[in-house]
């Protein structure tokens, strides 16, 4: 789920490298203290919230793929 959140971020940032401005060697330290990337420009708030939930440090608190699928379908239906 964490990786899916990263993938969403990469999609909405048009392929930018995750964790910009943080040296690769320091990413884990930042993540362990709760750092979450900012929303990419133009990313819908609902999608960014899905990313943030996917990046919860506690795996049990992260949404399931089934839950995210439901949310994404609801968002699609609300915007089409």
Is the separation of the CB atoms in 45 and 71 below 8 Å? no
Q: In total, how many domains does the chain have?
A: 1
Host domain of residue 13 = 1-79
Task: Give the single-character DSSP code of 1.
Answer: -
Give me the CATH number covering residue 10.
1.10.510.10
pLDDT at 80: 81
pTM beyond cutoff 0.85: yes
Q: What is the pLDDT confidence band of residue 45, given thresholds at 50, 70 and 90? A: very high
Residue 14 CA to residue 5 CA, distance in Å, equals 14
Give the pLDDT confidence of 55-69 residue by residue, as tens digits: 999 999 999 999 999
């Amino acid at each position: 789920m964490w990786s899916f959140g990263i993938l969403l971020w990469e999609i909405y940032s048009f392929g930018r490298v995750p964790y910009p401005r943080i040296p690769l060697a320091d990413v884990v330290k930042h993540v362990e203290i709760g750092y979450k990337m900012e929303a990419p420009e133009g990313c819908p708030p609902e999608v960014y919230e899905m990313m943030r939930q996917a990046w919860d440090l506690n795996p049990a608190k992260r949404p399931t793929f089934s839950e995210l699928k439901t949310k994404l379908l609801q968002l699609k239906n609300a915007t089409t």
